[in-house]
Chain A
């Protein structure tokens, strides 16, 4: 690991919450315009989090917020690992570990709404994990390395080798960004039949930490999307942002799906497109 990468990783840890917060603010403005509203100021997400920090922290079970703290720590760790150019497989495993702390926090809260939220969050994790791992496998097949630093410096954009995997990845990306139609476990929108789902019993500082973790997460997810276009950096960044805009559009166009549809469709798409793409790759690269 070179000094450069360590620096990038440190920058990520410091800057990601600001970038993520601004992204969330822009997201809210664009969403508002799509719905014919003016929307809040771009810094509104920061005001929200600062306000949450000052609120009293209510809990159902005394240890529930400790899990949230480790959720945040591991999300930051995961992102740092990614931007340090680390092993993609370890990155995915670390992301899973972080997600599990979040789910366990909701179980610990022992409230029916957070319980169902936790259950749905697990279904979401189960839905997106296969294609995320297959993306790593595909990237390895093309670049002969699992390391982000090698993948990002590959001479051609990976999307030309793995369009199938990319499409399937795009499909589950909606889950990861917590956007409709796959925002089953929690949502920023007011169409929550589960009260606030997985976050129902979290308040004050804990809720602020969840929000910050979400910002950190969005940044490294965009980083992951960028890996597909890294052959051409400028175009890559533009396309990555376009994809985020596309996700906002989807978010505002679709009603929420049931878990059955979420799981079945994402597995079917991941399985078919992933398999076809990997078989094709093993012939092309021979």
Chain B
């Protein structure tokens, strides 16, 4: 059996087994085995010869599969319709009816005439995505075993549906593999809709009113994207392109005269990707998704869901290159990056900070896709890789802190460096990975800036302001972690090995990938770019050496702790009064005892969430409309 098919089917089957497993022990065992199996299968893709070569998979052909998918799709639509009507959600009801109606009409009327040469395919880009889904996704599942146990102990009010939870997690992973391996757009669309459904189910897991509402918000926004996707497929087939295959679409996009046949479908599918990647004006669904248990957030933010969105956008980037519609997509991505980063400054809930930073970073990737040059795509793929690893690590760390200390407010995280030293250090590494030279995201940001100045320098304005804001909110969080105010309480010894293993591996990966990034670029990104554009780009040798020196210097920092406490005299801090008893109490005027407090700046003005969100939504909606207009007129 084919490796690609295995990667799609194995998670599905193991998910079904988890659904019917008799007890927690059996299910947890299954989760671990299935996760390790998935990691192994994904890694197997890297071995030359094990995976079928480029575009060589033409052997899966069956009317039955297509029919089965169609029936499953209609079943999903019916289920969503039922859920919408039961909860009286009008927008989602209308959207699912439109979408299912359009697709049923298309499949029943034209379905028999469609011939597809290749249903699945694999190339270096899908291999990269498969590693992210397989390895990071599986690590999150292992982490979830330990986390969900704690979660249900702390939240007795939530009904324990863990069998169902893990079932959905694994189906989600299977569908993600489907998304990145599908060449038949109807298949891609099928898997796409499954990821929408899975995220809907996972966000609503807690079952309280807020969760259900947020789940429906995620649902309608992604259904709107899905509607665009379906319309794109129908237009592609009924128009002069007359195909439903992704490789054909990309091939036609290369020729200027044939571009009109594929530009509108490409833009519509990218639109679906933007909704899925939580770009403004759709960013609110991803922020609402943080009500779900932390492994779900980690999964949605790092290896699944949003990554499906940016994957498809990056995939279609060659078609978008140089078009006005593509430029509009880049502007929307840039605005999302800038405004998302601004809003993050005003947030103190750790998960919300992470969520907004995801929205912002995805904006950067969408910007790369919209520009569509080989330099931009090079940067975009690097961003996908680095972001997945660091963001996953950060979510899992915050989950541990939340479970053990009972708070995920950044202002409560001071003294964490001595209360949970290992987790705090991992968080610091994860954050460094998100914004600091010489770590991953910064390498990508360097590449993004270079790509922009070659294509459309005006967009640099959005990047420079956004990235200044990123600096502010990450450093003040880092600072809070290392500030020490109260005496030590050890909170770390009850963290289970299910949580430690993924945390340690992700920490190693954050540093490792940044040391090995020239290799990653040479093995995956360059072959993909050569095949697609005939050009590739790279960091120059000199700059790689400089980055390596910086990395080595940063690595020396822990070593300096050998000198910890030597040749210094420890005193109490200056408090502007007479220090009394402990380091944070002083006797002020009139002999009154004062306790000091240190809180970060959140700058409600000018970075308040409500105002900036409204601004972001208003501007991006305008650009979205211009984008659609430009695509229809094929400018």
Segment of A18-26, A108-116, A151-159 in the binding face: A108-116
Q: Write the nearest CB–CB distance from B156 to chain A, whole angstroms.
A: 37
With A104-B478, A109-B573, A126-B472 in contact, is A66–B553 under 8 Å at CB? Answer: no
Contact of A261 with B by CB under 8 A: no
Q: Which residues does chain B contribute within 8 Å of A113, judged by CB atoms?
A: 573-574, 576
Chain B, interface SS category: helix
A123 contacts B by Cβ under 8 Å: yes
By a CB distance below 8 angstroms, the chain A residues around B572 are 60
Q: Are the C-beta atoms of B543 and A57 separated by less than 8 Å?
A: no
Instruction: Confirm or deny: B88 has a beta carbon within 8 angstroms of a beta carbon on chain A.
Output: no
Is there contact, CB below 8 Å, between A94 and B550? yes
Interfacial chain B residues near A141, Cβ < 8 Å: 453, 457
Instruction: Kindly identify, within residues 53 to 91 of chain B, every residue whose CB is under 8 Å from any CB belonging to chain A.
Output: none
B105 proximal to A (CB < 8 A): no
Contact A100 B574 (CB under 8 A): no
Q: Which residues of A contact B583 (CB under 8 A)?
A: 60, 110
Q: Mark A109-147, 1 if CB is under 8 A from B, else 0.
A: 111111100110011011101110110010011000010
CA distance A66 to B461 in the complex (A): 36
Establish whether residues B458 and A57, one from each chain, have CB atoms under 8 Å apart when the complex forms. Answer: no
Within 8 A of A (CB), among B4-19: none
Closest CB in chain B relative to A126 CB, distance in Å: 5
Contacts of B468 in A (CB 8 A): 125-127, 129-130
- Residues in A60-112 with C-beta less than 8 Å from chain B: 60-63, 65-66, 69-70, 73-74, 77, 81, 86-87, 89-90, 93-94, 96-97, 100, 103-104, 106-112
Contact B471 A62 (CB under 8 A): no
Indicate if B600 sits at the interface (CB-CB under 8 A): yes
CB distance from A176 to the nearest CB of B (A): 14
Q: Which residues of B contact A77 (CB under 8 A)?
A: 549-550, 553
Contacts of B469 in A (CB 8 A): 126
Q: Return B29 CB to nearest CB of chain A, in Å.
A: 43
Query: Are B458 and A275 in contact, CB atoms less than 8 angstroms apart?
Result: yes
Q: Please determine whether A137 and B557 come into contact, CB atoms closer than 8 angstroms.
A: no
Neighbouring B residues of A1 by C-beta, 8 Å: 542
Tell me if B117 is interfacial: C-beta within 8 Å of chain A.
no
Does B476 lie within 8 Å of A90, measured CB to CB?
Answer: no
Q: Mark B584-623, 1 if CB is under 8 A from A, else 0.
A: 0000000000001010110000100000000000000000
B475 at the interface (CB under 8 A from A): yes
Contact A282 B569 (CB under 8 A): no
Q: How far is the CA of A109 from the CA of B584 in the complex (A)?
A: 12
A58 CB to closest chain B CB (Å) equals 5
Q: Are B436 and A97 in contact (CB under 8 A)?
A: yes
B461/A275 in contact, CB under 8 A: yes
Residues of the B chain whose Cβ atoms lie less than 8 Å from the Cβ of A195: 574, 576
Q: Does A274 contact B (CB under 8 A)?
A: yes
Residues of A within 8 A of B542 (CB): 1, 86-87
Contacts A126-B469, A264-B606 given; does A133 touch B570 at CB 8 Å: no
A103: which of B438, B479, B549 is its contact (CB, 8 Å)? B479
Q: Is B48 an interface residue (CB 8 A)?
A: no
A283, B469: Cα distance in complex, Å? 29
Q: Are B601 and A119 touching (Cβ within 8 A)?
A: yes
Tell me if B277 counts as interface (CB < 8 A to partner A): no
Instruction: Report the separation of the CA atoms of residues A274 and B565 in the bound assembly, to the nearest whole angstrom.
Output: 46
Contacts A108-B482, A274-B461 known; A73 to B472 CB distance under 8 Å? no
Q: If the complex has contacts A74-B553, A122-B471, are A86 and B546 also in contact, measured as CB distance less than 8 A?
A: yes
Check: B533 CB closer than 8 A to any chain A CB: no
Contact B574 A201 (CB under 8 A): yes
Contact yes or no, A119 B600, CB < 8 A: yes
Q: Which residues of A contact B482 (CB under 8 A)?
A: 104, 107-108
Contact check, A57 vs B467: say whether CB atoms are below 8 A apart. Answer: no
What separation, in Å, do the CA atoms of A100 and B428 have in the docked complex?
Answer: 13
The CA of A259 and the CA of B574, in the complex, are separated in Å by 23
Q: Do the beta carbons of A281 and B457 come within 8 Å of each other?
A: yes
A59 within 8 A of B: yes
Closest CB-CB distance, A138 to chain B, in whole Å? 8
Once bound together, how far apart are the Cα atoms of A1 and B540, in whole Å? 12
B interface size (C-beta, 8 A): 59
The answer to whether A137 and B547 touch (CB under 8 A), given A104-B475, A110-B484, is no
Indicate whether B485 reaches chain A with its CB closer than 8 angstroms.
yes
Across the two chains, which residue of chain B brings its CB closest to A74?
A: B553
Which residues from chain A contact B561 at a C-beta distance below 8 Å?
Answer: 63, 66
A215 to B583, CA, bound (A): 33
The residue of chain A having its C-beta at the shortest distance from the C-beta of B572 within the complex is A60
A267 touches B (CB below 8 Å): yes
B471, A96: Cβ atoms closer than 8 Å: yes
Q: Does A200 contact B (CB under 8 A)?
A: yes
B518-549 interface (Cβ within 8 A of A) = 542-543, 546-547, 549
Contact at A60–B446, with CB atoms within 8 Å? Answer: no
Q: In the assembled complex, which residues on chain A have CB atoms less than 8 Å from the CB atom of B543?
A: 86-87, 90
A173 interface residue (CB < 8 Å to B): no
Considering the chains assembled together, what is the distance between the CA atoms of A201 and B450 in angstroms? 40
Of residues 417 through 458 on chain B, the ones whose CB sits less than 8 Å from some CB of chain A are 436-438, 442, 446, 449-450, 453, 457-458
Contact: B574 with A133, CB < 8 Å?
no
Q: Which of A109, A119, A279 contacts B476 (CB 8 A)?
A: A119
Q: Closest CB of chain B to A157's CB: distance in Å?
A: 20
Q: Which residues of A contact B564 (CB under 8 A)?
A: 62-63, 66
Residue from B464, B465, B476, B485 in contact with A122 in the complex, judged by beta carbons closer than 8 Å: B476
A90 adjacent to B464 (CB under 8 Å): no
Give CA–CA (A79, B600) in the complex, Å: 31
B550 near A134 with CB under 8 A, answer no
The CA of A129 and the CA of B341, in the complex, are separated in Å by: 14
Known A66-B557, A100-B436, A195-B574; contact A278-B458, beta-carbon cutoff 8 A:
yes
- Given the contacts A59-B570, A70-B557, A278 and B461 also touching, CB distance less than 8 Å: yes
Contact: B437 with A97, CB < 8 Å? yes
Say whether A39 faces chain B, with CB atoms less than 8 Å apart: no
Q: Tell whether A57 pairs with B476 under 8 Å between CB atoms, given A66-B557, A133-B467.
A: no
B475 and A100 contact, CB distance less than 8 A: yes
Whether B115 sits at the interface, judged by CB under 8 Å, is: no
Q: Which of A60, A86, A115, A271 contacts B570 (CB 8 A)?
A: A60
Q: Mark A207-238, 1 if CB is under 8 A from B, else 0.
A: 00000000000000000000000000000000
**B560 at interface by CB-CB < 8 Å:** yes
Interchain CB contact under 8 A, B464 and A133: yes
Query: For residues 97 through 156 of chain B, which have their beta carbon under 8 Å from a beta carbon of chain A?
Result: none
- In the complex, the chain B residue whose C-beta lies closest to that of A200 is B574
Please name the 4 residue pairs, one residue from A and one from B, whose CB atoms are nearest each other, closest first.
A111-B573, A107-B479, A93-B437, A62-B565
Taking A107-B479, A130-B468 as given, write out 18 further A-B residue pairs in contact, using a Cβ cutoff of 8 Å, ordered by the A residue number.
A59-B571, A60-B572, A62-B570, A77-B549, A107-B482, A108-B482, A108-B483, A110-B484, A110-B485, A110-B573, A110-B583, A112-B598, A119-B476, A130-B465, A274-B461, A278-B460, A278-B461, A281-B457
Q: Can you list 21 A-B pairs, Cβ within 8 angstroms, ordered by A?
A: A81-B546, A93-B438, A97-B436, A97-B438, A97-B550, A97-B554, A103-B479, A107-B479, A110-B583, A112-B573, A112-B575, A115-B598, A119-B600, A133-B449, A133-B460, A133-B463, A133-B464, A137-B449, A201-B573, A271-B465, A274-B461
Binding site for B on A (CB under 8 A): 1, 56-63, 65-66, 69-70, 73-74, 77, 81, 86-87, 89-90, 93-94, 96-97, 100, 103-104, 106-115, 118-119, 122-123, 125-127, 129-131, 133-134, 137, 140-141, 146, 195, 200-201, 264, 267, 271, 274-275, 278-279, 281-282
